[in-house]
Amino acid sequence: MQAGTTFPKGIHPAFWAAAVLGIGLLGLVSLSLAEVLPLPAPAGAGVDGPRLAYFEFGRTADTLWLTDPQQPARREKLFAAPHAREYGVVPSLVAEGGRFAYAALPPATRAPTADTPADLWLAELKAGAQPRRLAQGIDLLVRPVWSPDGKQIVFRRSGGAYALFAVDAASGAERLLVAAAEALFPVGFAPDGRLYYVQLSSAGSDLLVVDPASGGQAYVARLADGLTRDWALSPAGDRLAYLAMSFAPERVSSRAHLLDLTNGRLAPIGTTDANDFSPVWSATGELAVGRLAAGQRGAGVLRLAGEDGSALPGPALGFDVPLAPAPGGGFVVRSFEGASATAPGRSVLAVVGADGRRITIASGEVTFLGWTQR
């Protein structure tokens, strides 16, 4: 199963709720588990236009490709990342200098499961790169977060309790940041260097912040009385977008919300008769979501500006889930051909331009990593 690309199908809501809390997570992966950002150009790279990087799933190793988004067949193989059979890698945020991190279950793992401890690897975006292992025993599907200076990566371990650690990208030295009995998820760094994280429990979802230097912690806000996911911090660090989940016997739904971190104002930005997916911020601070209303055909990405929104043209059938901004005002999307979130059908990785032009990058089980100038 390719981590990060498959939406939960036919899962009882109570079981999926447990998965969100960190139990049995691998088979129930979010559409947008790993946040993706534009990749800085590697040292010495040319400037002949943006290239798109993605992982292609293989049963025992995932292949990293760099491709021309205008001519996807023109692609360059960078390297293959080994992993346990049927469990693909989970790429994480990128840092300065064309580096990125990814999590993978050890290839020699016997009978891997959702709870099998994973390794955290650091790699360069170049052909023949030799990844370096930074940490062991991490939670595979909880996206690690880079510090703003690219010197540290925050990841989660669990087993009796949940704990967030920071690992030095140069030395591999680790440091405990926070631990709790409830599930913890790193979200992103504030401009002042503090780390926002979410704590999920049976009581609801809470946003907290910790100072990695001093260890000081503070409560920020209650996000919902139920489960939340897909937390996305704005580039300026002043707003948090996320999805609040609702469970009913006949359906599971998600509604986008926005928290203003400067004044604590919280408001839904989704409607009750639609499913929202994957909040994504542009570099200029504009928010977009995927939105699929009941019975809707061909749902495109919805760009939210002020109180108004505008949708990009969607596919002929199915719906788009945004993954990241694309040059020129469009988006990289995972485009599903199915009619609902619980029956999404087959999907492709595509780039949708601001004019609605659609280019399929790859089909099958692939994971978008980011952009670079090559």
Instruction: Give the CATH number for residue 252.
Output: 2.120.10.30
Residue 168: CA count within 13 A, CB half-sphere: 6
Tally of structural domains, the chain: 1
Tell whether 3 is covered by a domain. Answer: no
Are 141 and 29 contacting, i.e. CB atoms less than 8 angstroms apart?
yes
* pTM, rounded to two decimals: 0.87
Give 71-94 pLDDT, tens digit per residue.
999 999 999 999 999 999 999 867
Tell whether 5 is covered by a domain. Answer: no
Tell whether 116 is covered by a domain. Answer: yes
Would you state the structure tokens that stand for residue 312, as one six-digit string?
């990009």
Give 209-243 pLDDT, tens digit per residue.
999 999 999 999 999 999 999 999 999 999 999 99
Burial of 18 (0-12, 13-18, 19+ CB in 10 A): middle
Are 2 and 366 contacting, i.e. CB atoms less than 8 angstroms apart?
yes
Give 262-320 pLDDT, tens digit per residue.
999 999 987 777 899 999 999 889 999 999 988 788 999 999 875 557 889 999 999 99
Tell whether 6 is covered by a domain. Answer: no
For residue 34, pLDDT beyond 50: no
- Closest by CA position to 155, among listed 192, 141, 88, 3: 141
Q: How far apart are CA 255 and CA 279, in angstroms?
A: 10
Tell whether 41 is covered by a domain. Answer: yes
For residue 4, pLDDT beyond 90: no
Q: Which residue has the higher pLDDT, 95 or 217?
A: 217
Residues 165, 371, 361, CA angle at the centre, nearest 5°? 115
- CA dihedral (323, 328, 329, 333) in degrees, to 10, reads -20
Residues 258, 262, 267, CA angle at the centre, nearest 5°? 25
Kindly state the DSSP code that residue 299 receives in the 8-state scheme: B
Please name every residue paired with 176 in a beta bridge, in sequence order, or none if there are none: 165
- Closest by CA position to 195, among listed 240, 242, 138: 240
* Per-residue buried b or exposed e for 92-130, using 16+ beta carbons within 10 Å of the residue's own CB: bbbbeebbbbbbbbbeebeebebebbbbbbbbbbbeebe
Q: How far apart are CA 18 and CA 296, in angstroms?
A: 30
The alpha-helical segments, DSSP class H, found in 80-228 are none
Portion of the chain with pLDDT greater than 70, in percent: 84
For residue 26, pLDDT beyond 50: no
pLDDT band with cut points at 50, 70 and 90 for residue 374: low
What pLDDT does 296 receive?
A: 86
pLDDT band with cut points at 50, 70 and 90 for residue 7: very low
Tell whether 1 is covered by a domain. Answer: no
What pLDDT does 56 receive?
A: 97
Give 116-144 pLDDT, tens digit per residue.
999 999 999 999 999 999 999 999 999 89
Q: Which residue has the higher pLDDT, 23 or 253?
A: 253
For residue 193, pLDDT beyond 50: yes
pLDDT band with cut points at 50, 70 and 90 for residue 254: very high
What pLDDT does 96 receive?
A: 62
Least confident of 35-49, 60-74, 156-170: 35-49
Tell whether 4 is covered by a domain. Answer: no
Would you state the structure tokens that stand for residue 44, as one six-digit string?
């010495």
What pLDDT does 306 receive?
A: 56
Tokens 């899962």 -> residue: 11
> What is the domain extent for residue 360?
13-373
Q: Counting every residue, how long is the chain? A: 374
